[in-house]
């Protein structure tokens, strides 16, 4: 019997990363019959390799004013936070131009308020999901620490910090001595710090995905292994092997691969794979209490249950280029510089595809061309953070309820 011959589901979710599984979880709790499609349920994905941060203070877009003046310097620095495969530039150019427009003052303000609307309700949605899947014990609410090497960089960021406070973020500044007392394992080179009261982190991103997947299975979802190629009609997903999966509503939560599926029904979106790298050190031998964000170097270090994860960087090379693990090596070099004495024995290198929009806002809500299709992708660095809130909003749409917050800023129609 083909997939199409079986009983039609209420909801078909394309994608079994953290966002897709959270959507399936929310729909199942509403009583829907759910099918989840993924090409490899056990395989690696962006949800597995993130830094583990619940980044509720990240309510401003990545495209800050003046960013483009720094880009050339970063591209020339082998330890810098940005890399570009020049062969990919023609394809990425529309995205990059829109990214630049997102830094314009009025647009920047509007984006920030839209991000804050999502982030300020994250714990309302995320904590019940963690509790239901048995993940609360690996959720550490210890705040986070942003550190600065220079007075100039700290001063330059003060307007953004003040704006984040207006948006609801709680933070307080630390002097050099307070930074050392907060995280003694850091090199004594940091002149300033900002402690983020409401940030938290999880112990193992991969484990969270596994627990959520098994809970979704237990709640009754049916899993279909296959690669979704197109939305063939208002109620059918065409797979690469020619089979069709049918559902009254279809949710596209395929991360960086979502743009092609949206295009199959005529919706355009600017979506890039912002390839992120990390190195996880299982025998690191240092004591960090919380996630540390290195402001000038644009990387982070998080004490996970599975080791110290040093991550960051942004590489634009498309979905098909092979990983460039020199980016992981560069992050490890920085980690050794600023966290003296770390042991990199058995370090595991990783690359994943962050699904990034140029305005840093996810795509959430029904397609204007085919309302039976609902979008849930494009979260960039905030997939874990915004997963449960996105799921709650999508569940409202699927159930015909008025969404608990306006979805206009996240509509695919903005492209």
Q: At what angle do helices 18-29 and 205-218 cross, to 10 degrees?
A: 30
Average pLDDT over residues 298-324: 93
Distance from C-alpha of 98 to C-alpha of 19, rounded to nearest angstrom? 25
- Average pLDDT for residues 247-275, to the nearest whole number? 97
Pairing status of strand 192-196 against strand 171-175: antiparallel
Span 60-89+141-197+271-356 CATH architecture: 2-Layer Sandwich (3.30)
Q: Which two tokens stand for residue 219?
A: 């709640």
SS3 assignment for the chain = CCHHHCCCEEEEEECCCHHHHHHHHHHHHCCCCEEEEECCCCCCCHHHHCCCEECCCCCCCCCCCCHHHHHHHHHHCCCCCEEECHHHHHHHHHHHHHHHHCCCHHHHHHHHHHHHHHHCCHHHHHHHHHHHHCCHHHEECCCEEEEECCHHHHHHCHHHHHHHHHCCCCEEEEEHHHHHHHCCCCCCCCCEEEEECCCEEECCHHHHHHHHHHHHHHCCCEEEECCEEEEEECCEEEECCCCEEEEEEEEECCHHHHHHHHHCCCCCCCCEEEEEEEEEECCCCCCCCCEEEECCCCEEEEEECCEEEEEEEEEECCCCCCCCCHHHHHHHHHHHHHCCCCCCCCCEEEEEEEEECCCCCCEEEECCCCCCEEEEECEHHHHHHHHHHHHHHHHHHHHCCCCCCCCHHHCHHHC
CA–CA distance, 30 with 395 (Å, rounded to integer): 8
- Does position 2 have pLDDT exceeding 60, yes or no? no
pLDDT digits (tens, 9 = 90+) for 275-294: 999 999 999 999 999 999 99
Q: Specify the higher pLDDT residue, 18 or 83.
A: 18
> Boundaries of CATH 3.30.9.10 in the chain?
60-89+141-197+271-356
- Per-residue pLDDT, 284: 94
> Which residues in the chain are classed under CATH 3.50.50.60?
1-59+102-140+198-269+358-415
pLDDT band at 43 (very low <50, low <70, confident <90, very high): confident
Which residues does residue 399 pair with via DSSP β-bridges, in sequence order?
Answer: none
The Cα–Cα gap between 415 and 408 comes to 12
pLDDT band at 69 (very low <50, low <70, confident <90, very high): low
Q: What is the pTM of this model?
A: 0.95
User: Which CATH architecture fits 1-59+102-140+198-269+358-415?
Assistant: 3-Layer(bba) Sandwich (3.50)
Q: Please, which pLDDT band fits residue 85 given cuts at 50, 70 and 90?
A: confident
91: pLDDT strictly greater than 70: yes
């Amino acid at each position: 019997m083909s997939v199409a011959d079986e009983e039609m589901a209420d909801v078909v979710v394309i994608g079994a990363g953290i966002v897709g599984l959270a959507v399936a979880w929310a729909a199942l709790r509403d009583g829907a019959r759910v099918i989840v499609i993924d090409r490899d349920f056990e395989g690696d994905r962006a949800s597995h390799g993130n830094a583990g941060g619940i980044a509720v203070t990240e309510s401003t877009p990545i495209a800050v004013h003046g960013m483009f003046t720094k880009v050339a310097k970063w591209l020339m620095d082998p330890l810098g936070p940005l890399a570009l495969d020049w062969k990919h530039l023609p394809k990425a150019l529309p995205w990059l131009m829109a990214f630049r427009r997102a830094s314009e003052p009025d647009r920047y303000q509007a984006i920030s308020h839209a991000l804050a609307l999502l982030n300020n309700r994250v714990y309302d949605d995320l904590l019940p999901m963690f509790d239901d899947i048995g993940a609360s014990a690996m959720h550490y609410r210890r705040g986070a620490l942003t550190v600065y090497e220079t007075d100039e960089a700290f001063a330059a960021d003060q307007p953004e910090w003040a704006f984040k406070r207006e948006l609801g973020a709680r933070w307080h500044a630390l002097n050099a001595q307070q930074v050392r007392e907060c995280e003694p394992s850091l090199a004594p080179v940091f002149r300033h710090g900002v402690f983020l009261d409401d940030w938290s982190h999880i112990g193992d991103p991969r484990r969270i995905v596994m627990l959520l997947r098994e809970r979704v299975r237990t709640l009754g979802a049916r899993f279909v292994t296959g690669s979704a190629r197109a939305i063939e009609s208002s109620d059918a997903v065409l797979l690469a092997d020619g089979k069709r999966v049918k559902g009254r509503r279809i949710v596209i939560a395929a991360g960086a691969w979502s743009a092609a599926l949206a295009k199959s029904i005529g919706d355009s979106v600017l979506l890039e794979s912002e390839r992120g790298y990390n190195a996880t050190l299982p025998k690191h031998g240092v004591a960090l209490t919380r996630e540390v964000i290195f402001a000038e170097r644009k990387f982070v270090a998080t004490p996970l249950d599975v080791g110290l994860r040093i991550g960051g960087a942004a590489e634009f090379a498309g979905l098909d280029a092979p990983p460039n693990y020199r980016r992981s090596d560069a992050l490890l070099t920085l980690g050794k510089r600023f966290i003296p004495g770390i042991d990199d024995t058995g370090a595991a290198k990783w690359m994943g595809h962050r699904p990034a929009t140029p305005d840093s806002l996810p795509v959430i809500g029904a397609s204007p061309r085919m309302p039976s299709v609902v979008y849930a992708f494009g979260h960039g660095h905030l997939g874990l953070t915004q997963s449960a809130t996105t799921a709650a909003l999508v569940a409202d749409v699927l159930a015909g309820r008025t969404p608990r917050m306006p979805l206009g800023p996240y509509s695919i129609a903005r492209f």
